[in-house]
Structure formats: C-alpha cells, structure tokens
C-alpha cells in the first residue's frame, strides 16, 4: 500500500486477520484514497468520498486500484 492507492474496507472479520482468505460473496466496501501515513505505524490516512479523512489500520483495508 502507498499514498494514492484506492482502497476498500474489508467486511469479513476472518479476512482481516487472514489476508490469504477470499470470500467471493463478501466484497470489500469501496472506501477512498490513501493520502498519508496514519498516527500509528500500520495505519493510513484515507480520504473518503464525503470529504472525511479517517485513520484506519492496514489490516482493515485492501487495495482496489494501485497508484502508478
């Protein structure tokens, strides 16, 4: 993950702790774009579509579209 990536919130609790697991019928919920590092070492600042900036753990999000 890096600044500029478009990310989604992982909705399945199992997948948050086991990144290799996939649940085809439980799609991630689009969240926003990474704009900064978060307050803690494994957190990111994400700009949501409503303009809110949230600090979220790397374990709770996954990249949908990588910044080039």
1 is a domain residue: no
Q: Classify residue 50: in a domain, yes or no.
A: yes
Q: Is residue 45 in some structural domain?
A: yes
Tell me the C-alpha distance between 11 and 63, whole Å: 14
As beta bridge partners, residue 26 has none
Q: Domain for residue 22, yes or no?
A: yes
Total number of domains constituting the chain: 1
Is residue 37, in this structure, part of any structural domain at all? yes
Q: Is residue 52 situated within a structural domain?
A: yes
d(C-alpha 5, C-alpha 9), whole Å = 13
**C-alpha span between 60 and 14 (Å, rounded):** 11
The CA dihedral of 58, 54, 10, 43, to the nearest 10 degrees, is 10
What torsion do the CA atoms of 59, 4, 51, 14 make, to the nearest 10 degrees? Answer: -20
Query: Domain containing 25 — which CATH number?
Result: 2.30.30
Q: Which domain holds residue 17?
A: 6-65
Mind listing the pLDDT tens digit of every residue in the chain (68 residues)? Answer: 899 999 998 876 656 666 666 666 777 789 999 999 988 889 999 999 999 999 999 989 989 987 65
């Amino acid at each position: 993950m890096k600044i500029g990536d478009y990310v989604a919130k992982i909705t399945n609790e199992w997948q948050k702790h086991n990144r290799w697991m996939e649940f085809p019928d439980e799609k991630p919920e689009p969240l926003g774009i990474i704009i900064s590092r978060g307050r803690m070492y494994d957190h990111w600042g994400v700009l949501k579509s409503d303009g809110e900036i949230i600090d979220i753990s790397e374990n709770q999000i996954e990249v949908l579209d990588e910044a080039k």
